[in-house]
Amino acid sequence: MPVKQLELDERKKRILEAIVRDYLHTAEPVGSRTIWRSYMPDLSPATIRNEMADLEAMGFIVQPHTSAGRIPTDIGYRFYVDHLMKNRQLTVKEEELINEGLKTVHNDVEDALHQTLKLLSHLLEYASVVATLNNRTRVYSSGFSHMLKQPEFSDINFTRHVMEIVEEEDLMAEMVREYTTEKGVTIRIGSENKFKEVKNCSVVMSSYEMKDTASGGIGVIGPTRMSYARVASILETISRRLDKLTEE
């Protein structure tokens, strides 16, 4: 469920946004001095520490180790996605890659799915899933070598778990059905997930419909420390392109 925006005042919002942005970039717990130096020089480190203590008490951030900085919780990420995350425009390079990857695809479903999977694997360093659900269900996955670049995947048990999840076609098909019932991008963060197998991961999905040919979903599975704005913009753009393939 969305976290109510009224729960945080403007100062706490700014500090939470700084923590999320820094942690997404560095994968390192964020301390008050980092926020003071890099984001909020108008506040003292002591004031920032007090606000961080409040955010921790409210469940938005957590201290993973004694004497360490803070990292966002699932609730913190959800608040960020719902209220603080800005729409991200694709870069010129991303636009070029998507246009190049899909330019030869028309209404051939198999070709479209394979090309889409290649694009997701190339653009995003997470496990990628593409599925078509009408007529005959087909699920394709890729991106395992790329996702190993993420520090979370240095944990071999976590890596094995994600790989096993993505290889379960029935589970992936059910997840696509559940998370692509509405137009637009669906983001499920950690414990929000309906499926117990991915409660330590984030899942981002978008639906597509190649008119009179196929419908389904595309998405990624990865750690909760995910570049949500970038993932959402790429998935949404590719979905729209798939929607238009048969029209063209």
pLDDT of 34: 96
**The two three-digit tokens of residue 45, written as one number:** 């480190």
Percent above pLDDT 90 for the chain: 58
The model scores a pTM over 0.85 = yes
CATH tag for 5-84 (out of 1.20.58.1690, 3.30.565.10, 3.50.50.60, 1.10.10.10): 1.10.10.10
pLDDT of 234: 96
Distance in angstroms (rounded) separating the CA atoms of residues 22 and 189: 18
Q: CB atoms < 10 A from the CB of 227, how many?
A: 17
pLDDT of 5: 52
Say which range, 28-32, 90-94, 140-144, 168-172, has the weakest mean pLDDT: 140-144
pLDDT of 154: 82
Distance in angstroms (rounded) separating the CA atoms of residues 60 and 199: 17
- Could you tell me if 19 and 31 are in contact, meaning their C-beta atoms sit under 8 angstroms apart? no
Q: Which residue ranges does the chain devote to CATH 1.10.10.10?
A: 5-84
Mean pLDDT of 103-108: 76
Distance in angstroms (rounded) separating the CA atoms of residues 97 and 76: 32
Q: Bigger pLDDT: 151 or 37?
A: 37
Q: Which residue ranges does the chain devote to CATH 3.30.450.40?
A: 92-245
pLDDT of 218: 94
Residue 248 pLDDT > 60, yes or no?
Answer: no
Residues in contact with 216: Cβ distance below 8 Å, sequence separation at least 6, in sequence order? 130, 131, 132, 133, 134, 176, 180, 207, 208
pLDDT of 246: 60
- Return the CATH number of the domain spanning residue range 92-245: 3.30.450.40
Residue 6 pLDDT > 60, yes or no?
Answer: no
